[in-house]
Chains A and B, each alone.
Chain A
Amino acid sequence: MHKLLSKGVLNKGRTLNPWLMILPAFLILLVFNIFPLLWSLGISFHRFSVIIREIPRYVGGLNYINVITSAEAWDRIIRTGIYLAYSLSFQFGLGLLLSLLLFEDFKGKRILITLFTIPLMIAPVASSLFFRYLFDENLGPVNNFLKHVVGYGPLWFSSDISPLGIPYALFTVILVETWIWTPFVMFLLTAGMSSIPQDLIEQSRVDSLKFRHKFRYVILPYIKPMIALALIFRFMDSLKTFDSIYILTAGGPGATTELISVYIYRVAFERWDFGSATALSYLVLVIVIFMTNVFMRYILGGERS
C-alpha cells in the first residue's frame, strides 16, 4: 500500500508493489545473512569438521556444554572483559576530553575534527601493521625515543606485565584500538554538544558556573543519548575486534591477546572445530543483544525518570 495514498487508492498499473522493490535487497540478505545465521545455529548442535570430510553428527547441546565448561573459553572471555574495560574507558575518557576541548567555537574547528577522524576511517589492518613498526621492540621509533629519554624501552609485544597490571601485548592492542576509535566517541559527543541551545551556554557563562556544575547541568543532559549510542556501538564493535589483533599479535604471545573473536576464529579455522566455534559465536551474539538492551534501558530509561 502506498503510504501517500493512505490505504486503498493506488495509481493503478503505474504503482509498483513495494514488496517488489524490497525483494532484491532482501534476497541477498536472505541468502548471505539469514540463511548462514540459521545454518550456523544448526552447526552449533553438530559435531562437524570440514577438514576430515566428516559427516556432521547431531550432538544436541554438547557443544554449548563443552564451551561453557571449558576453562580455556572462560579464560578468553575474562581476557575480553579486561580488554573491554580498559579499551572503552580510554576511548570514552579521551573522547570526552577532546570533545570538551572542542566545545567552544573557534576558527578551523571543522578541519580539526576532520583530521581527528582520519584514523577512524583508514583500514585497521594498515594502521595496526604500522604500529608494529612504531612499537618494534629493538629498532622501532617509540623505543628509540624512550631509550633516549628514559633509557629504557618496554617489550611492547611481550607478556611482561605493564604498569597497568596487564601484559604489554594486551596493552599495545588496547593502545592501538584506542587510537582508532577515540575519534568515534569524540565525534558523537561533539555532535551531542552542538545540540545544546546557545542560550543555555550563554546563561551558564553569565552565571559563571563552575565547570563541574556546567558539565553536570548543562552539557551532560544533552550528550546522554549520544553517550548511550556511542557505548552501544563501541561495545558491539569491540567484541568483534579482530583485524588489529590478528595483525599486531595474532593472539600471542601464547594466548595473551587471544580475545573472543580471535579465539573463535582459531577454533574454527585452526582446529577446524566448527561446532564449538558456532556455539561460542552464538553465545557472543546473545551477550551482545542482552548488553545492548541493558545499555538502552539504563541510559535512555534513566533519562525518562
Chain B
Amino acid sequence: MSKSEYVIQVKNIVKTYNGKIVLNNISFALKRGELLAILGPPGSGKTTLLKIIAGLVKQDAGDVIINGRIVNDLPPYERGVSLVFETLALYPNMSVYENIASPLIAEKKDKEYIDKRIGEITRLLKIEHILDRKADKLSGGERQRVAIARALAKEAEIYLLDEPLSNLDAKIRYALRTEFKKLKSLLGKTIILATSDPSDALALGDNVVLLFNGAIIQEGRPSDIYYAPRNISIARYLTGNILNEVSISIDTHGDDVSTDIGREFSIDPYFLKVLREVNETSIILTSYADVCIIDKFIENCSGIKVIGEFIGYEYRGSEYLLYARKERRIFRSLRTNLPNVTFGEKVEVCIPHRNALLFSSKTGDLIR
C-alpha cells in the first residue's frame, strides 16, 4: 500500500451531543514531523476532536485517516496514536516508572526494552530522579512532564497533546514551552497540540488551526494568522483582549476623517491615502501592543498619532506593558525600557500604519 503524503487526515468530522453541534465539518491534514496547533477558547471542541482522533469518542460523520488507512472503526490502541490528557490522567496509585511503562507493558515489551526506553525519555524530560515517586505525590510541573513522558513512551504515528501546558504557573509554563520547542525539533514526531493559549500555539505550531464554537475559522502558518487574522474577534482573541483599537470614519468626498477618540490627532498623509483607497466609510484600526508606541515625544509617526495620558505599566518578564488613555480608550504598548514619564503626564501614542490591521466595522472582517 502506498503511503499517503499525510500522516493524518481528518475529513469532514461532525459531532453532536444531545442535538447540540460540538464539531462542525472539521477537516485538516498533517505531514510527517509537523506540529499542528489547534487553538480555540475553552469549550470550542478541541478535546472532543482529539478524542475522536484517538478513538475514544465516535464521530457522527466524517473520517479519520491515519497513514492512508481509515481508522473510524479501530480501537484506540490499534490507531497508532498517543494522547496526553488535559487532566493528565496519571494513575495515582502507581509510581512514575509504572506510569511511563504502562503503554509498554500493554504492548508486552520485555523489561530490558522498557528500562532502556524509559531511561531515554526521562533523561530528555529531566525526570530521571523521580521515577520511584508515586504519581499523586508530584508537583504540577512534574506531573505534566510525566504525562508527556508516558505519551512519548509509546511508539505512535501521531502524538496528541491536550493543553499540555495548562494548569501551570506562568514561570514553569514558560520554561516548559521553551523546552518543548527543543524537544519538538529533537524528536521529529508528528504532533497535534490543542491549546487555548495563543502564544503557545503561535510559538510551537508549524501550522495553526483556529477552532471557534466547533468550526474552523482560520488556518495557516502562525505568522499568517498573527499578521492577518481573518476578523477582529480573532485579533482580539490572539492578544488576550489587549488589542489597541480606534474606530475611524472617512468621508469619501471631503477630507474629513473622524475617530472615536476625538479630533485631536495627526495622521500621516501616506496613511490617509491608504485609508481612502480602502473604500469603506467606517474602519476599525487596530494594532498589537508590540507595534504601538507610547512615549513622551514621538518624532516620526508613520501612522496615526494622538496625545494621551500615561496611566501605568506592568512588568512582564523582559518587557514593560505601558498603558495610556485617550478619552475612554486604553492603549497598550510593549517596550523594553520605561519612558521618562510619570503617571498622569501627557504622552504621545503612535500606531504605525505598517503593521496596523484594518477591519471593517460593519462585518469585522480584515480589510488590510
Contacts and interface: CB of A to CB of B under 8 A. Distances in A.
Interface of A: 4-12, 14-15
A4 B56 contact: yes
B69 to A, nearest CB: 15
A9 B76 CA distance: 8
Contact of B55 (A9, A14, A15): A9
A15 to B, nearest CB: 8
Contacts of B74: 9
A11 B76 contact: yes
A9 B57 CA distance: 8
B105 to A, nearest CB: 13
B365 to A, nearest CB: 37
Interface string B51-90: 0000111100000000000000111111000000000000
A236 B74 CA distance: 49
A12 B58 contact: no
A12 B56 contact: no
6 contacts: A5-B55, A5-B75, A6-B57, A6-B58, A9-B73, A12-B78
Contacts of B58: 5-9
A8 B57 contact: no
Nearest to A6: B58
Contacts of B56: 4-6, 9
| B interface SS class | loop
B73 A5 contact: no
Interface size grouping (class) on chain B: 10 to 19
A11 B56 CA distance: 10
Contacts of A9: 55-56, 58, 73-76
A8 B73 CA distance: 7
Between A5, A8, A10, A15, the greatest number of chain B beta carbons within 10 A of the residue's beta carbon is seen for A5
A5 B77 contact: no
A187 B189 CA distance: 57
Contacts of A7: 58
Interface in B204-242: none
Contacts of A6: 56-58
Interface in B30-66: 55-58
Contact of B57 (A5, A11, A12): A5
Interface string B226-261: 000000000000000000000000000000000000
A7 B57 CA distance: 8
A7 B72 CA distance: 12
B285 to A, nearest CB: 46
Given A6-B56, A9-B56, A9-B75, 15 more contacts: A4-B56, A5-B55, A5-B56, A5-B57, A5-B58, A5-B76, A6-B57, A6-B58, A8-B58, A8-B73, A9-B58, A11-B75, A11-B76, A14-B75, A14-B77
Given A5-B55, A5-B58, A11 B77 contact: yes
Between A7, A9, A11, A14, the greatest number of chain B beta carbons within 10 A of the residue's beta carbon is seen for A9
Between B57, B73, B75, the greatest number of chain A beta carbons within 10 A of the residue's beta carbon is seen for B75
Nearest to A1: B58
Between A6, A10, A11, the greatest number of chain B beta carbons within 10 A of the residue's beta carbon is seen for A6
Nearest to A5: B56
A11 B55 CA distance: 10
B77 to A, nearest CB: 6
B66 to A, nearest CB: 14
A38 to B, nearest CB: 38
B139 to A, nearest CB: 28
Nearest to B75: A11
